[in-house]
């Protein structure tokens, strides 16, 4: 019994070892085995509430490796949670003939890197050949990544924030040389982590250059600085676009706005705020700028109380800017809700495609500048009788259909609903909604009105010709 048991155990161990060897041999090679980063420059812009990062990566494929069709980016779990957008371009050509070709970026299906880092894939338009060198320009934006410290301030206190990152580039590749620049809105920098070599010039801190960084290297740093820019956060933004083939596009935008900076403590003094504007309330904001489409008309700005007259519209054939002022200045943690509405000429936005379908060309995102939208909803209400709607958006969104009802509607209007979270200014790009429409449906409402008027007059004539008096028998 003992020899048989020993033989069975040995056979089982041999099978396990063989399966492990097959798994290792069949698994794809790690990305650092074929690509290396010759030089990397990382520029972090902290001058606004939205963290904007610009990466310049000079990459080389190994001479003995196969062609590479993608390049991987690594982000920490915290960065992935606050990541709003990632864009990449590839430099092609030389000197004056150099052009930057946009590349597709998506979350990678590969297993997470060490310490829970998530990988994103940059899909190359042409594969990177063995021993070939190329340059990529990467941009990404992070929201809610600045931590106010102290978390509560009085009306006259400036706002200080923390920013956390790494002195070296988090990458699945071997980085030969790398430097990081962090730019802040002012020269007031309370403190910053030093990782030699580190230097500071005015409102910019430089980390590096660092050489021969191993894959997945991470050196945490903390920067504490003053940032009094408006931390305007739109918690909920709903835009309703109503299309009328009689010549008008009516847009209604509902905002739920808050100040996302350090919480205000103490009592608000209107007298101090107006008498000392350069000191009192430096971190608050009392106006915002909305960039609207050109040739807007019938603009209104109101809240629950009624119309708000403290707004200014500048419009021409190229752009329209609406400067709005809430009823009170917003400090950290304060909220306000309001509605903006305006009309647009239909001929500027409605077109016909080659296949005969109609489509409306609109702009995604929020028109308020330098704001973060936590939850965005766009509802495109098509004319009654529209069929086969299709939304074309250049990034991932949640899409579904619903039915809306308005005056004189019989079967309701097909409504295309688009939803997206964590929206920034870089999402303000054109998108299209295609649909099919039979012009005969444009006669539905006029015929209903004509029929109603006709029936009314018939009823009047019938009433006048009827004798309802009670005669003697």
The CATH number linked to 59 is 2.60.40.1730
Same domain, 216 and 256: no
Per-residue model confidence (pLDDT) at position 198: 94
Q: Is residue 468 part of a domain?
A: no
Q: Is residue 407 part of a domain?
A: yes
Per-residue model confidence (pLDDT) at position 22: 39
Last residue of a domain, one of 170, 197, 226: 226
Last residue of a domain, one of 205, 226, 247: 226
Same domain, 95 and 222: yes
Query: Rounded to an integer, what distance in angstroms lies between the CA atom of residue 89 and that of residue 140?
Result: 12
Q: Which of 406, 397, 401, 259 is nearest to 335 (CA)?
A: 259
Same domain, 176 and 196: yes
Along the 473 residues of the chain, how does pLDDT read in single tens digits?
444 545 544 554 444 444 444 343 333 444 445 899 999 999 999 999 999 999 999 999 998 889 899 999 999 999 999 999 999 999 887 777 788 899 999 998 876 677 788 999 999 989 999 999 999 999 999 999 999 999 999 988 999 999 999 999 999 999 999 999 999 999 999 999 999 999 999 999 999 899 999 999 999 999 999 999 889 999 999 999 999 888 899 999 999 999 999 999 988 888 888 888 777 888 888 889 999 999 999 999 998 888 887 788 988 878 899 999 888 889 999 999 999 999 999 999 999 998 889 999 999 999 999 899 999 999 999 998 888 999 999 999 999 999 988 877 778 889 999 999 999 999 999 999 999 988 776 666 777 788 888 899 999 888 888 877 776 65
What range defines the domain where residue 145 resides?
35-226
Alpha carbons within 13 angstroms on the beta-carbon side of residue 73 total 29
Per-residue model confidence (pLDDT) at position 10: 54
φ, ψ for residue 5 (rounded to 5)? -65, -40
Same domain, 395 and 277: yes
User: Is 44 within 8 Å of 83 (Cβ atoms)?
Assistant: no
Per-residue model confidence (pLDDT) at position 24: 37
Same domain, 46 and 151: yes
Going from the C-alpha of 253 to that of each of 303, 342, 406, 431, the distances in angstroms are 11, 9, 18, 17
Residue 211: other Cβ atoms inside 10 A: 9
- Cβ-based neighbours of 45, under 8 Å, separated by 6 or more: 51, 52, 53, 54, 183
φ, ψ for residue 59 (rounded to 5)? -110, 150
Per-residue model confidence (pLDDT) at position 29: 44
Same domain, 266 and 386: yes
Domain count, the chain: 2
pTM: 0.84
Q: Is residue 240 part of a domain?
A: yes
Cis omega (within 30 of 0) for bond into 150: yes
Same domain, 120 and 268: no
Q: Is residue 312 part of a domain?
A: yes
User: Is 177 within 8 Å of 39 (Cβ atoms)?
Assistant: yes
Q: Is residue 3 part of a domain?
A: no
Same domain, 254 and 222: no
Q: Is residue 2 part of a domain?
A: no
Same domain, 249 and 208: no
Angle at 170 between CA 164 and CA 174, to 5 degrees: 155
Q: Is residue 111 part of a domain?
A: yes
Q: Which of 104, 133, 113, 106 is nearest to 30 (CA)?
A: 113
Same domain, 213 and 295: no
Cis omega (within 30 of 0) for bond into 197: yes
Last residue of a domain, one of 226, 257, 283: 226
Same domain, 141 and 287: no
Q: Which of 29, 79, 35 is nearest to 60 (CA)?
A: 35
Same domain, 250 and 126: no
Q: Is residue 13 part of a domain?
A: no
């Amino acid at each position: 019994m003992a020899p048989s048991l020993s033989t069975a155990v040995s056979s089982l161990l041999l099978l396990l070892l063989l399966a492990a060897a097959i798994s290792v041999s069949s698994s794809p090679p790690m990305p650092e085995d074929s690509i290396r980063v010759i030089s990397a420059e990382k520029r972090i812009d902290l001058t606004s509430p939205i963290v904007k990062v610009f990466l310049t990566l000079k990459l080389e494929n190994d001479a003995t490796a196969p062609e590479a069709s993608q390049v991987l980016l690594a982000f920490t779990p915290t960065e992935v949670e606050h990541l709003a957008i990632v864009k990449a371009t590839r430099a092609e050509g030389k000197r004056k003939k150099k052009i930057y070709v946009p590349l597709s970026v998506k979350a990678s299906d590969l297993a997470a890197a060490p310490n829970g880092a998530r990988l994103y894939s940059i899909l190359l338009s042409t594969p990177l050949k063995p021993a070939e060198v190329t340059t990529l320009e990467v941009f990404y934006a992070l929201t809610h990544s600045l931590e106010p410290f102290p978390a509560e301030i009085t009306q006259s206190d400036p706002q200080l924030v923390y920013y956390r990152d790494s002195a070296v580039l988090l990458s699945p590749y071997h980085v030969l040389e790398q430097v990081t620049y962090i730019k802040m809105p002012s020269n007031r920098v309370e403190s910053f982590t030093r990782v030699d070599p580190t230097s500071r010039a005015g409102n910019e801190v430089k980390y590096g250059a660092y050489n021969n960084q191993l894959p997945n290297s991470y050196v945490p740093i903390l920067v504490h600085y003053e940032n009094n820019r408006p931390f305007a956060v739109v918690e909920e933004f709903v835009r309703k676009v109503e299309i009328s083939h009689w010549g008008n596009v009516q847009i209604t935008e509902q905002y739920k706005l808050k100040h996302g900076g350090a919480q205000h403590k103490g009592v608000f003094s209107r007298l101090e705020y107006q008498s000392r504007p350069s000191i009192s309330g430096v971190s608050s904001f009392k106006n915002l700028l909305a960039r609207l489409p050109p040739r807007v008309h019938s603009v209104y700005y109101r809240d629950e109380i009624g119309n708000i007259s403290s707004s200014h519209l500048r419009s021409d054939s190229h752009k329209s800017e609406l400067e709005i002022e809430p009823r009170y200045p917003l400090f950290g943690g304060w909220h306000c809700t309001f509605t903006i509405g305006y009309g647009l000429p239909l001929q500027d936005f409605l077109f016909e495609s080659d296949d005969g379908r109609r489509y409306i060309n609109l702009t995604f995102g929020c028109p308020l500048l330098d704001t973060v939208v936590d939850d965005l909803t766009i509802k495109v209400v098509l004319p009654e009788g529209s069929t086969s709607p299709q939304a074309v958006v250049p990034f991932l969104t949640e899409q579904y259909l619903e039915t809306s009802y308005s005056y004189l509607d019989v079967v309701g209007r097909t409504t295309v609903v688009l939803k997206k979270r964590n929206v920034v200014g870089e999402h303000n790009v054109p998108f299209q909604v295609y649909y099919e429409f039979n012009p005969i449906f444009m006669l539905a409402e006029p015929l209903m009105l004509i029929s109603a008027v006709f029936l009314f007059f018939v009823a009047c004539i019938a009433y006048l010709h009827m004798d309802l008096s009670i005669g003697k028998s």
